[in-house]
């Protein structure tokens, strides 16, 4: 039966129309932006959950409402597939969206691998939220609207990324996130590798009592992982303990807090150690996993700091064979201690390692991407408004030396194309240095004000993307198909 909504004179996004329990829902475009429309039998109370204008249509009631937080929440309550869930051990892929309008493009890309790779559309670290001035609830709601617009009905997760404090947990829990990525990076001792044995002993004594050597029961233990043997002799164990002991204690505090406040809300936990200076050695991994287990933590994925360089928005830098060798051991450890997934952070554009990542983990894999969707937004702007992209690029070059600080990147300003020489602006988005420069300056670009009041770029960026939405979605779809294909081929 044809949905009755289509006989209204509303301009509906066709993929959004859905009939569920005798009520029709859809998203309609209007000069003021997309609007929620709901058509329901007259006597139903379901419409009371929404805010908007009601009118009679045939023998039904038609409600037209804004894309508000209130309506997003009501929509999630009525259409259960819009609610994020815990994705478990399924191969999963995170597509963070700093601008809040990329999800329809992500959905289109993921559609071809539906049922094999499970998407996370709402994914943002607290750092990204601070830089873009968004709240966890906005991140969640933007993803909800995008999923609804494209009519995606598969399982979805929602990743509250790089949480550092219990306040971070509380804010993300209320917003409905289901994957809590705990980042104890601030508690990692990055210099333990070069400490002397006596210095290590001293530091070990300063760990919380429940983290000290005697409690671990690990001294001298040998672990066998398939072909590989790892022995925790005194120097190896002490280095791992000093490096990660306080971090593990912090994870325990965070997870206990999460369990306490989550009550019936279902959730899963990722532990991320990827933002440390030195790679996580296999012995470190064994220590971390056994300690977390001893202390009663359950987790679904772990992000070690792998060997090589994982820079933002560009391919893996390093020896792919060395990465594979390192990964093989980490994957074996994850299978034996869990199984749990290995998580690849700064995971976008790492085309040269996706096949081995999928192979070696046997699909117990998660990948996180975020800024690469912002770069596709800039590619869209480059194709439609050269004045604006030129201005953004010049500003990004000015900001680069300051903004690069919290990132591991090797771009150099003098290697990036000079503005006056550029003729192919979309092509700029394929150049290594320019990509990194544009990538790390997103926060400055999105929040920069002209004359201290009006946002200098943000409104223009959003307006161009909104009026060229099909092009933006198409760029995202192409870009993410390239990411997802290697994972779907290896299942």
Please give the residue ranges that form the binding site for Zn ion (CB under 5 A): 274, 345
Given the residues 150, 268, 270, 403, select the one marked as catalytic: 270
Please confirm, yes or no, whether 56 is among the known catalytic residues. no
Query: By C-beta, is 180 or 472 nearer to Zn ion?
Result: 180
- Closest contact distance (angstroms) between CB of 306 and Zn ion is 11
- Closest contact distance (angstroms) between CB of 250 and Zn ion is 16
Query: By C-beta, is 285 or 345 nearer to Zn ion?
Result: 345
Which helix (H) or strand (E) segment holds residue 224: the answer is: strand 222-225
Closest CA to 486 of 359, 309, 319: 359
Closest CA to 390 of 433, 334, 428: 428
- Closest contact distance (angstroms) between CB of 145 and Zn ion is 26
Query: By C-beta, is 353 or 464 nearer to Zn ion?
Result: 353
Please confirm, yes or no, whether 227 is among the known catalytic residues. no
10 Å CB burial of residue 318 (0-12, 13-18, 19+) is middle
Q: What share of the chain is helix, strand, coil (3-state, %, to 5)?
A: 50, 15, 35
- Closest contact distance (angstroms) between CB of 342 and Zn ion is 13
- Closest contact distance (angstroms) between CB of 371 and Zn ion is 12
Q: Which residue number is nearest to Zn ion in terms of Cβ?
A: 345
Query: By C-beta, is 60 or 285 nearer to Zn ion?
Result: 285
Query: By C-beta, is 271 or 297 nearer to Zn ion?
Result: 271
Q: Residues 10-16: contacts with CB within 8 Å, 24+ apart?
A: 10/37, 10/64, 12/37, 13/149, 15/149, 15/150, 15/151, 16/148, 16/149, 16/150, 16/151
- Closest contact distance (angstroms) between CB of 271 and Zn ion is 11
In this structure, are residues 158 and 120 in contact, taking their beta carbons and an 8 Å threshold? yes
Query: By C-beta, is 121 or 472 nearer to Zn ion?
Result: 121
Given the residues 141, 142, 150, 161, select the one marked as catalytic: 161
In this structure, are residues 261 and 170 in contact, taking their beta carbons and an 8 Å threshold? yes
Residues involved in catalysis: 161, 270
């Amino acid at each position: 039966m044809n949905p009755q909504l289509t006989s209204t004179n509303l301009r509906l996004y066709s993929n959004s129309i859905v009939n569920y329990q005798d009520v029709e829902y859809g998203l309609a475009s209007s000069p003021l932006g997309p609007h929620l429309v709901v058509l329901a039998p007259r006597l139903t109370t379901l419409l009371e959950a929404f805010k908007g204008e009601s009118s009679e249509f045939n023998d039904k009631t038609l409600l037209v409402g804004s894309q508000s937080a209130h309506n997003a929440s009501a929509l999630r309550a009525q259409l259960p597939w819009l609610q994020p869930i815990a994705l478990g051990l399924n191969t999963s892929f995170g597509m963070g969206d700093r601008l809040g309008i990329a999800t329809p493009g992500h959905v289109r890309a993921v559609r071809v691998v539906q049922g094999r790779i499970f998407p996370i559309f709402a994914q943002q670290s607290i750092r990204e939220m601070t830089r873009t001035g968004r709240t966890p609830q906005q991140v969640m709601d933007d993803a909800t609207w995008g999923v609804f617009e494209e009519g995606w009905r598969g399982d979805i997760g929602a990743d509250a990324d790089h949480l550092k404090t219990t306040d971070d947990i509380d804010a993300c829990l209320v917003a409905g996130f289901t994957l809590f990525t705990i980042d104890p990076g601030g508690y990692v001792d990055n210099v333990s590798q070069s400490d002397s044995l006596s210095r290590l002993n001293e530091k070990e004594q300063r760990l919380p009592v429940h983290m000290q050597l005697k409690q671990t029961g690990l001294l001298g233990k040998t672990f066998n992982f398939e072909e590989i043997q790892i022995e925790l002799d005194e120097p190896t164990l002490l280095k791992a303990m000093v490096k990660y002991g306080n971090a593990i204690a912090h994870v325990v505090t965070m997870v206990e807090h999460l369990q306490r406040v989550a009550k019936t809300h279902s959730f899963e936990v990722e532990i991320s150690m990827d933002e440390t200076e030195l790679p996580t050695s296999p012995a470190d991994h064994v220590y971390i996993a056994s300690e977390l287990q001893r202390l009663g933590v359950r987790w679904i994925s772990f992000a070690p700091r792998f060997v090589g360089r994982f820079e933002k928005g560009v391919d893996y830098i390093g020896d792919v064979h060395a990465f594979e060798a390192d990964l093989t051991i980490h994957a074996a450890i994850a299978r034996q201690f869990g199984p749990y997934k290995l998580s690849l952070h700064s995971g976008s554009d790492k085309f040269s390692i996706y096949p081995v990542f999928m192979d070696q983990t046997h699909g117990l894999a998660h990948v996180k991407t975020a800024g690469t969707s912002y770069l596709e937004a800039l590619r869209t702007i480059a194709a439609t408004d050269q004045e604006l992209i030129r201005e953004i690029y010049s500003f990004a070059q000015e900001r680069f030396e300051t903004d690069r600080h919290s990132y591991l990147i090797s771009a150099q300003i003098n290697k990036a194309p000079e503005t006056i020489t550029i003729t192919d602006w979309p092509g700029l988005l394929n150049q290594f240095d320019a990509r990194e420069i544009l990538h790390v300056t997103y926060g400055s670009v999105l929040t920069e004000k002209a004359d201290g009041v009006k946002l200098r770029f943000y409104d223009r960026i959003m307006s161009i993307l909104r009026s060229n939405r099909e092009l933006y979605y198409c760029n995202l779809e192409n870009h993410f198909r390239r990411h997802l294909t290697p994972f779907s081929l290896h299942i």
